[in-house]
Amino acid sequence: MAEYFKGIGQVKYEGSTSKNPLAFKHYNADEKVGDKTMKEHLRFAVAWWHTFSALGADMFGDGTLERPWLAAADPVQQAKDMADAAFEFMDKIGIDYFCFHDRDLVAEAPSLKETNERLDEIAAYIKDKMKASGKKLLWGTSNLTGNSRFMHGAATNPNAEVFAFAAAKVQKALSITKDLNGEGYVFWGGREGYETLLNTDMGLELGNLARFLGLAVGYADKIGFKGHFYIEPKPKEPTKHQYDFDVAAGYAFLQKYGLLNKFKFNIETNHATLAGHTVQHELHYARVNGILGSVDANQGDMLLGWYTDIFPTDVYGTTMMMIEILRNGGLPGGLNFDAKVRRGSFKTDDLFYGHIAGMDCFAKSLKAAHGLLESRELDDFLEKRYESWKTGVGAEIVQGKATLEGLAEYALAHDSPKSESGRQELLESIVMRYLYA
């Protein structure tokens, strides 16, 4: 079997003073942070699409990336070579999980039947490699955006034939995911939205999207797929408006259509920022509502308004994420690097530098967040800030015992309430202490 990443061995932890670009400075897989190892806390995954099958094309230029595993002319051979490269990469970088879309695994054939046969062959190939290596599938999904048949959406297409075609793709992707013991299945509604409301029946489209998800859940029950279902919100790109805009919009949608008990959320940093939120907000909102599932770990470029999928290096931002994840007691899913090297970083070893930077960033943040939460400095502050809700009038309100006229009587009998400082700067300086400890 060909070796694709020649000259690169197992990436090891060498500590924060190491200058070796192919070593971890903070990620030390078996080091314990609290009661779990870093590896158990972080559950990193490699994204098949950005790392192995994409060539770096953008709106203004062709692909630039050197990807020797894509050289074979035969699509199935190409897919097998790509799987070889993927398992070599995961082994050398020390990442246990991967994620894929059906279309990343092998190129589509002229007919659906032939595409499914290709998928079966490549899934069997990957299954053997998983057995031999112990690598695991964090989640699978179906690409319902790339082919031109999906230009007006998949589940929300005005044409029912396209809905049926998309359903066939999900059926296949779900059964492969189950066969590979996938721990989850993601729905990202890339073209489930609209370009203009002038040509859109939103009410029907939303209902159809819910019916589509319901059919998938029903099929999963039939085949005994026990993994988690995730919605991955994104407000726009490629469509002007997507129905899974953010976690709050997705939560309302799931509640309306009675799907809430079946889904959690896969939250992506760059999607959150496109929605005008921080990822901390999205994780927090999901956590307090019991729907935090998994994370697509990347970041946007603050100078660009569009979607850039950069490897995470903003330690402050990832520390805010790890606070949410630790407060959630961990994730049912993991941290999938839905991130790509820049198209100018076209060598295969650039893939290592991107992942090492991302893994070190999260490892450093895990330690900072753990230290901060262990100290209870934030919790003690929060407890004090909200103490008026524990007794007296606050407790009555929380317990639903208050009436509006009773509260009016209370306010008339007491002095005008006094405010306390919110102490934002103090709290930020506490965070800094743990970050740069």
Q: Which residues bind ligand XUL (CB under 6 A)?
A: 101, 141, 186, 188, 232, 234, 268, 296, 338
Nearest approach, Cβ of residue 189 and Co ion (Å) = 11
**The token pair that represents 85 in the structure block:** 């490269």
Q: Cβ closer to ligand XUL: 246 or 268?
A: 268
Compose the 244-273 pattern: x for residues touching Co ion by CB under 5 A, - for all others.
Answer: ------------------------x-----
Residue 339 bridge partners (DSSP):
none
Q: Cα–Cα distance between 24 and 339 in angstroms, integer?
A: 18
Q: Cβ closer to Co ion: 205 or 296?
A: 296
Give the active site residue among 101, 277, 281, 355: 101
Q: Which of Co ion, ligand XUL, none is residue 186 near (CB under 5 to 8 Å by kind)?
A: ligand XUL
Q: Cβ closer to Co ion: 28 or 270?
A: 270
Within residues 284-303, the interface with Co ion by CB under 5 A covers 296
**The token pair that represents 268 in the structure block:** 């992506």
Q: Cβ closer to ligand XUL: 326 or 334?
A: 334
Helix (H, G, I), strand (E, B) or coil at 117: helix
Nearest approach, Cβ of residue 38 and ligand XUL (Å) = 24
In degrees rounded to 5, what are phi and psi of residue 314?
-85, 95
Residue 335 bridge partners (DSSP):
44, 295
- Surface-to-core class of residue 196, CB atoms within 10 Å of its CB (0-12 exposed, 13-18 middle, 19+ buried): exposed
Catalytic site includes residue 101: yes
Q: Cβ closer to ligand XUL: 296 or 324?
A: 296
Neighbour count for residue 90 (Cβ, 10 Å): 23
Q: How many residues bind Co ion (CB under 5 A)?
A: 3
Q: Cα–Cα distance between 119 and 113 in angstroms, integer?
A: 10
Q: Cβ closer to ligand XUL: 192 or 232?
A: 232
Q: Which of ligand XUL, Co ion, none is residue 187 near (CB under 5 to 8 Å by kind)?
A: none
Q: Cα–Cα distance between 402 and 344 in angstroms, integer?
A: 63
Q: Which of ligand XUL, Co ion, none is residue 277 near (CB under 5 to 8 Å by kind)?
A: none
Within residues 336-375, the interface with Co ion by CB under 5 A covers 338
- Find out whether 250 and 262 touch, Cβ atoms under 8 Å: no
Helix (H, G, I), strand (E, B) or coil at 373: helix
Q: What share of the chain is helix, strand, coil (3-state, %, to 5)?
A: 50, 10, 40
Nearest approach, Cβ of residue 405 and ligand XUL (Å) = 51
- Find out whether 11 and 357 touch, Cβ atoms under 8 Å: no
Q: Which of ligand XUL, Co ion, none is residue 156 near (CB under 5 to 8 Å by kind)?
A: none
| Total residues belonging to the chain | 437
Q: Which of Co ion, ligand XUL, none is residue 234 near (CB under 5 to 8 Å by kind)?
A: ligand XUL
Binding site for Co ion (CB under 5 A): 268, 296, 338
Catalytic residue numbers, as ranges: 101, 104
